[in-house]
Amino acid sequence: MNSADSTLQASSGRPLGFLRRYLFSTDHKIIGLQYFFLALVAVTVAIILSLLMRFHLVWPAAHLPFTSGGIMTPEQYLALVTMHGSIMVFFVLNTAPQSAFGNYFLPLQIGAPDMAFPRLNMLSFWLTLAAFLVMLSAFFVPAGAPISGWTAYPPLSGINDATGPGEGLGQSLWLVGILIFGVGSLLGSINFISTTIDLRAPGLTLMRMPLTVWAWFVTAILSLLAFAVLFAGGILLMLDRVAGTSFFLPAGLVVSGELEMHGGGSPLLWQHLFWFFGHPEVYIAILPGMGVVSHVLANFSRKPVFGYRAMVLALGTIGFLGFTLWGHHMFVSGMNPYSSLVFSFLTLSIGVPSAVKTFNWLGTLWGGKLQFPAPMLFAVGFVSFFVTGGLSGIFLAQPTLDTELHATYYVVAHFHIVMGVAAIFGIFAATYYWFPKMFGRKMNEALGKLHFWLTFAGAYSIFLPMHFVGIAGGVRRYADSTGAMYLAALQPLHLFMTIAAFSTAAAQLIFFYNFFASLNRGKPVSANPWNATTLEWATTWPPAHGNFAGQFPSVHRGPYEYSVPGASEDFLPQHLPEDASAPHDGEQNHAN
């Protein structure tokens, strides 16, 4: 319960009821858990959609009970593509790392009683939930979900049902969901920025903040700027659909033999607006994971983060450059070659701060007293996928190569590894690491390690062959590749990837069982089971009213003081005075 809830309870003279405490709470911890469980539901839906796609690609003539006529049509396949991508990007990769873990742990890590605007925080969650439900409702309208992809390129997305099934009410519901989500994200971003700037504990200077806080802070700035542009573009697209405007619809457009009464618009304008949001969105998804990985690697290496100030600078540089290179998504749009050259250079330049982070992670590991519990394994896995995805992206930064690869599965493989899988591994690392703080128990370590190895091997088995399918000319968005001889030759690889996808999805059942079983049967832990140094471990479980029971901490040192020479223990918590000894938990090596 936060200070607002405490005041309400005191004034009423009675405890808060279930609805006020758990559903309409203004406590940042409850809201963080609400976001987390929403993301769990969303990722489950998205996985099911992806498995249906993979199944159809291998057995396109298979009879499925939920399709009209028993066989999935190309339009139904494209609807699955659209909804899978939209749910993953907005309701998993945005929601879990930033909204869930950020809401729960940012106030704890800076010594604050709550977020700066608790009621806005509650409103942000309910807007996000409403956006999710509105988007899902597109499946249940007569023509079904939209077929325009998560990018919703006009004119396909701008002319209602004349352009195909799902482009009527389904596309409108999709767009309304995005607009609602954008409002929730904007409110959340303002809250994150205000909380970080105004509510830090005494002594917690900017250069003493954990890298997780830096990551959430930079991500909030990106989200504030990027979603404002997407929201404006979405309003204009909705006006094209329902009000007869022509912001994105050109003159002379003929659809199904009928001349559309539009004129003067530019479909490329939508692409510029969308990708000005869309490329920062990649970093909105992955920057929180970078912060978590830095946090976890230092903890289980028993070393300070190598090059802390360089890591902070790299986070800020990635955030800034993320707004300058949206054009590399549009190399095939006919842009001026000189513009392509500029965007190509900027795209390659973002590899510099990314390399700084990667080498600093390796420097943190080097010479450390390495421990490998489940959070550490997923953090190392994050680094592996981040590097792999980054290397494959170098080729797409070249306009000449991108022209050949843009419409192929190479692009699908690249962004799934670097934006999807790496970010998901960051989410898993955070879940295993902070589960004791959120629920007072520890997840089963053996199941956690089994989950890691199956997921790690499965993800590479899906997406490494996908690169080769793309290089061989395998076209993305095709619902059936068996009709063309050169594409039919790639079917064995599709079969292998589909088996790997189903196996990897099955491995997630281990995680779900471990998570929910551990809520009640997990091993109880002490207040600081990982012998960590940051402020979230300075509270009891569950954290008291206002997080610190009115005894707000002061910060005396940086966030990663491990293995300090001359110290009695190998970790010095931020809140302990200089002459105090670290309380030894007695479980430092329990995860070895």
Segment 23-47, tens digit of pLDDT: 889 999 999 999 999 999 999 999 9
What residues pair up with 522 in beta bridges, in sequence order? none
554 occurs within a structural domain: no
Q: Which has the closest alpha carbon to 293: 214, 350, 217?
A: 214
How much is the pLDDT for 587?
Answer: 39
How much is the pLDDT for 63?
Answer: 87
113 occurs within a structural domain: yes
265 occurs within a structural domain: yes
CB 219, CB 116: distance < 8 Å: no
178 occurs within a structural domain: yes
Q: Measured in whole angstroms, how far is the alpha carbon of residue 527 from the centre of its chain?
A: 28
Q: Which has the closest alpha carbon to 171: 107, 242, 93?
A: 242
Q: What is the mean pLDDT of residues 231-252?
A: 94
CB 28, CB 92: distance < 8 Å: no
Phi, psi torsion values for 184, nearest 5 degrees: -60, -40
Concatenated DSSP letters of 21-73: IIIS---HHHHHHHHHHHHHHHHHHHHHHHHHHHHHHH-TT-B-TTSGGGB--
CB 300, CB 375: distance < 8 Å: yes
Helices 267-301/422-439 angle, 10° precision: 50
499 Cβ contact list (under 8 Å, min separation 6): none
User: Sign of torsion, CA 232 234 235 237?
Assistant: positive
How much is the pLDDT for 378?
Answer: 98
SS3 254: strand
Pairing of strands 441-442, 254-255: unpaired
Alpha helices in 118-210 (DSSP H): 118-136, 169-198
Q: Which has the closest alpha carbon to 413: 349, 340, 474?
A: 474
Check pLDDT > 70 for residue 237: yes
How much is the pLDDT for 202?
Answer: 95
CB 438, CB 515: distance < 8 Å: no
CB 345, CB 245: distance < 8 Å: no
Higher pLDDT, 547 or 517: 517
What is the number of domains present in the chain? 1
Q: What is the mean pLDDT of residues 365-375?
A: 96
- Amino acid letter for position 257: G
Segment 301-317, tens digit of pLDDT: 999 999 999 999 999 99
546 occurs within a structural domain: no
What's the start-to-end Cα distance of the chain, in Å? 35
For residues 101 and 216, what is the distance between their CA atoms, to the nearest angstrom?
9
CATH number for the domain spanning 89: value is 1.20.210.10
511 occurs within a structural domain: yes
How much is the pLDDT for 15?
Answer: 52
Check pLDDT > 70 for residue 295: yes
Average pLDDT, the chain: 92
Helices 445-471/491-521 angle, 10° precision: 160
Segment 547-568, tens digit of pLDDT: 887 788 999 999 999 999 888 8
Q: Measured in whole angstroms, how far is the alpha carbon of residue 537 from the centre of its chain?
A: 25
Structural domain range at position 244: 3-250+261-523
Look up residue 334 and give its two tokens.
Answer: 């006919």
- Between the CA of residue 494 and those of 122, 381, 527, what are the distances in Å? 44, 24, 48
Check pLDDT > 90 for residue 580: no
CB 156, CB 164: distance < 8 Å: yes
- Segment 169-173 long-range contacts (CB within 8 Å, at least 24 positions apart): 169/138, 169/141, 169/142, 169/143, 170/79, 170/138, 170/139, 170/141, 170/143, 170/144, 170/145, 170/146, 171/138, 171/146, 171/241, 172/238, 172/241, 172/242, 173/134, 173/135, 173/137, 173/138, 173/141
Residue 510, classified by CB atoms within 10 Å of its CB into exposed (0-12), middle (13-18) or buried (19+), is middle
Lowest-pLDDT range of 340-349, 372-381, 483-492: 483-492
Lowest-pLDDT range of 174-188, 209-223, 422-436, 530-544: 530-544
CB 452, CB 376: distance < 8 Å: no
393 occurs within a structural domain: yes
Check pLDDT > 50 for residue 12: no
CB 187, CB 242: distance < 8 Å: no
Percent of the chain with pLDDT strictly greater than 90: 82
* Kind and range of the H or E run holding 301: helix 267-301
Q: Which has the closest alpha carbon to 564: 580, 587, 553, 552?
A: 580
Lowest-pLDDT range of 143-147, 185-189, 539-543, 576-580: 576-580
Q: Which has the closest alpha carbon to 91: 49, 53, 144, 35?
A: 35
Higher pLDDT, 16 or 421: 421
How much is the pLDDT for 541?
Answer: 82
Phi, psi torsion values for 236, nearest 5 degrees: -65, -40
Q: Which of 82-86, 163-167, 542-546 has the highest mean pLDDT?
A: 82-86
Q: What is the mean pLDDT of residues 168-181?
A: 97
390 occurs within a structural domain: yes
Q: What is the mean pLDDT of residues 451-468?
A: 98
Lowest-pLDDT range of 65-69, 71-75, 509-513: 65-69
SS3 408: strand
Question: How does residue 416 score in pLDDT terms, banded at 50, 70 and 90?
Answer: very high
Q: Which has the closest alpha carbon to 93: 181, 225, 24?
A: 181
Percent of the chain with pLDDT strictly greater than 70: 95
For residues 146 and 151, what is the distance between their CA atoms, to the nearest angstrom?
11
